[in-house]
Structure 1
Amino acid sequence: MTRQEKIVKTSIIGIVVNLILVAFKATIGILVNSIAITLDAVNNLTDALSSIITIIGAKLAGKAPDKNHPYGYGRIEYFSSVIIAAIVLWAGITALMESWPKIFNPDVTSYTTVSLIIIAVAVVVKIVLGKYVKRVGENINSQALVASGSDALFDAILSLSTLIAAIISIFWHISLEGILGVIISIVIIKASIDMLRETVDSMIGSRVDSELSRKIKESICEVPGVYGAYDLSLHNYGPEDMQGSVHVEVDDTLSALEIHNLTRNIAIKIFEEFSIILTVGIYARNDKHHEIREDLEKIASEYEEVLEIHGFIVFEEMNLATFDIIVDFDADREKVKNEISDKIKQLHPQFNYIIIDDYDVSD
């Protein structure tokens, strides 16, 4: 079964279960005059609608690349997640507007044994559904399914709170409908904002997962002839389509053919292990002036803001030495670079130094 088929199958299961819960909860909510149960039914309806949007998004995202969209349509899944978040936010705000007045003017609620049993069953069903959807989403890297699964587990907690409020109402004749409705509304609103923030981060381009970055670099360094992997940059064109680039440090004596074979082996290795298409660039390594490199690394170690120095190379015919530096985003980058440049020039004045500014985009 393909990833798209798994998303569709899981979403259909979610739709069917949620619609059944909507029918039962809405009926009970109206019969016993419970705003909390009615709002819980509305929340299940938005869950079903979210699953429908997830299916549509998965179908559209699965379209093959074409001339106008050579990277495919994978990012459509992010747009579907934004739509889902907006729907959930609307449901939360609507619920809040309905619930707030009930705190000051509570309605009389008459629960029945049948209504309580159905609410209890709904709690169990939502827990099972939530765990299933979330597990599938994690296995196939579907942000929308993970969000739906988490939301279902949270719904179970909200339904449980409704059940507790009903029991309190029966035994102590205290109405918590309005208060519970407001709490449910706030929870729904917060969940939608979190979902929206996570999706927008993916669309903008958030930091690469540090564990993934380290694993990729470690895998590259396992290739014979590679002294280090740097400047890893990854971009996603959907949850299952990631491409990027990296620089590797190799001996400056390698021929073009040897470099070609080396970079090709690295690209194939990373694709087989991580399903990532990687473009490999080269840093030439020459230990002839290793004393300068060692002094440079010692100077850099004095600065907590300096995360890494790499790509060091000396061009004797031009009396020039260059290297890349990664300085923390929060530091005064220019100040740090100038100080390091001055210090290394004092120790080895026979060369001019060019510092290439890199950014901390991984690890």
Structure 2
Amino acid sequence: MTEFLVKHFVKDYEHVEKVSVRTAYGVLASIVGIFCNVFLFVVKFAVGLVAHSVSVMADAFNNLSDAGSSIISFVGVKMAEKPADEDHPFGHGRIEYIAALVVSFIVLEVGFTFFKDSLGKIRTPQEINFRMISVVILLLSIGVKLWLGLFNRKLGEKIDSKVMKAVFADSMGDVLATTSTVVSLVLFSLTGINVDGIVGVGVALVVMWAGVGIAKDTLEPLIGEAVDPEVYQKIKHFVEKYDGIEGTHDLIVHNYGPNRSMASIHAEVPNNVDIETSHEVIDRIERDAVEELGIFLVVHMDPIETKNPEVLQIREDAYQVMKETDPACSLHDFRVVHGKDRINLIFDMVVPREYDEEKKNDVKARFCDTMKQKDGRYEFVITMEHSFVAEEKEEE
């Protein structure tokens, strides 16, 4: 069904890097979400009235809020499609994140409202009218929300949309909530025990948790995230494949909305190559990055020694000492300046962000002591800095 909808309603659906195609995916997901959630609201609200069940009606209004959320998402996706203008030179892509943030507050508000109603239901329980048709309809609801969640996850993976992935998580929460409602109805029919209010609290907590999750996922790119390790490797390999580039470091990526990024990176070039030759390579990299990666990339040149065997050996010694001192740290921008009685080693040392000043000073001191054992003339000019790349998460 997902492939059918995509092929029939998303023109040029395979080229997900295009803003227009990505927008079409977002519109499709929003319209399908509106239709499914309005349908579920009508059905569940009717069942809740008949069964006098606050948990069922809580679930129904959760679906209504989901429909409202889909409408906001639709508006947000369409507004995010607007091209750059004089006041917004990087486009309007972040509106999609803002729309998702609004959705998260709606979800939280609905969850909190029914949390209060469910507490009241616990204090003053009302009789539940069990009907098999209610259970059947709620089971149908579980099936619809499960499909809707998987639908959003698949589309979200295609276009790398955090909003759609959040909708998937929200839908899975709805599946859990409705399942709990069915359990409470069946339990009442079998035992006469009314746990409707308690289950309603559970439903409300699930809804609020989903709202918190959506807010977290949308706030991160608005505040500014560390560079994803996969994105880092992709840009690093792209730049380093060009002749005349010896290595890269200091990658920073600014997110201006999905598929709208600006980045800067330092590229190491041989110091014995004419600067105009290296600059021509850099220009080509920046032009190709826009076409091939869809990223506005600014490349800074760092000239490095590639011929002098003495400098190369000192640099190799320094890298090895750093690895032995603390494998979590690294060096770059390494230069050697010979003086009359000293040899200045000038470089940047990248340390984990969680290191405090004492820890950083300890690593620096141990590194310098070890290097001085190799040559007492070494003096150090070290700039301590942090990486902008997120740590890779270990697979469980």
TM-score, normalised relative to structure 1: 0.92
Asked if the contact 1:234–1:245 (Cα under 8 Å) also holds between the matched residues in 2, the reply is yes
CA distance in 2: counterparts of 1:24 and 1:291, whole angstroms: 75
Matches for 1:1-363 after TM superposition, within 5 Å: 1=11, 2-286=21-305, 287-288=307-308, 289-304=311-326, 306-316=328-338, 320-331=344-355, 332-341=359-368, 343-344=370-371, 347-348=374-375, 350=377, 352-362=379-389
CA distance in 2: counterparts of 1:69 and 1:188, whole angstroms: 35
Instruction: Output the amino acid matched with 1:124.
Output: G
Instruction: Output the amino acid matched with 2:256.
Output: Y
Q: Deviations over 1:61-96 (max 9, x none)?
A: 122211121111111112111111111111111111
Asked if the contact 2:163–2:218 (Cα under 8 Å) also holds between the matched residues in 1, the reply is no
CA distance in 2: counterparts of 1:294 and 1:12, whole angstroms: 58
Instruction: Tell me how far 1:52 sits from its aligned partner.
Output: 0.9
Instruction: Tell me how far 1:200 sits from its aligned partner.
Output: 1.6
Instruction: Output the amino acid matched with 1:355.
Output: I
Instruction: Tell me how far 1:268 sits from its aligned partner.
Output: 4.0
Instruction: Tell me how far 1:261 sits from its aligned partner.
Output: 2.5
Which secondary structure state, in structure 1, belongs to the residue aligned with residue 321 of structure 2?
helix
Instruction: Tell me how far 1:258 sits from its aligned partner.
Output: 1.6
CA distance in 1: counterparts of 2:174 and 2:33, whole angstroms: 13
Q: Percent identity over the alignment?
A: 31
The answer for unaligned runs of 5 or more in structure 1 is none
Which secondary structure state, in structure 2, belongs to the residue aligned with residue 248 of structure 1?
strand
Asked if the contact 2:325–2:367 (Cα under 8 Å) also holds between the matched residues in 1, the reply is no
Asked if the contact 1:60–1:73 (Cα under 8 Å) also holds between the matched residues in 2, the reply is yes
CA distance in 2: counterparts of 1:334 and 1:70, whole angstroms: 42
Q: Which moved more, 1:134-143 or 1:315-324?
A: 315-324
The answer for unaligned runs of 5 or more in structure 2 is 1-10, 12-20, 392-396
CA distance in 1: counterparts of 2:77 and 2:313, whole angstroms: 56
Instruction: Output the amino acid matched with 1:323.
Output: F
Asked if the contact 1:33–1:110 (Cα under 8 Å) also holds between the matched residues in 2, the reply is yes
CA distance in 1: counterparts of 2:63 and 2:207, whole angstroms: 11
CA distance in 1: counterparts of 2:109 and 2:221, whole angstroms: 22
CA distance in 2: counterparts of 1:263 and 1:317, whole angstroms: 33
Q: 2:5 is matched with which residue?
A: none
RMSD: 2.1
CA distance in 2: counterparts of 1:132 and 1:295, whole angstroms: 54
CA distance in 2: counterparts of 1:273 and 1:223, whole angstroms: 14
Instruction: Tell me how far 1:338 sits from its aligned partner.
Output: 4.8
Which secondary structure state, in structure 2, belongs to the residue aligned with residue 281 of structure 1?
strand
Q: Which moved more, 1:311-320 or 1:118-127?
A: 311-320
Asked if the contact 1:165–1:176 (Cα under 8 Å) also holds between the matched residues in 2, the reply is yes
Q: Deviations over 1:264-319 (max 9, x none)?
A: 33334444443222111122121421232123223312322652101112344896
Which secondary structure state, in structure 2, belongs to the residue aligned with residue 301 of structure 1?
helix
Q: Which runs of 4 or more aligned residues in structure 1 lie more than 6 Å from their structure 2 counterparts after TM superposition?
A: none
Q: Which moved more, 1:112-121 or 1:86-95?
A: 112-121
Q: Deviations over 1:96-123 (max 9, x none)?
A: 1000132243211112232222111111
Instruction: Tell me how far 1:31 sits from its aligned partner.
Output: 1.4
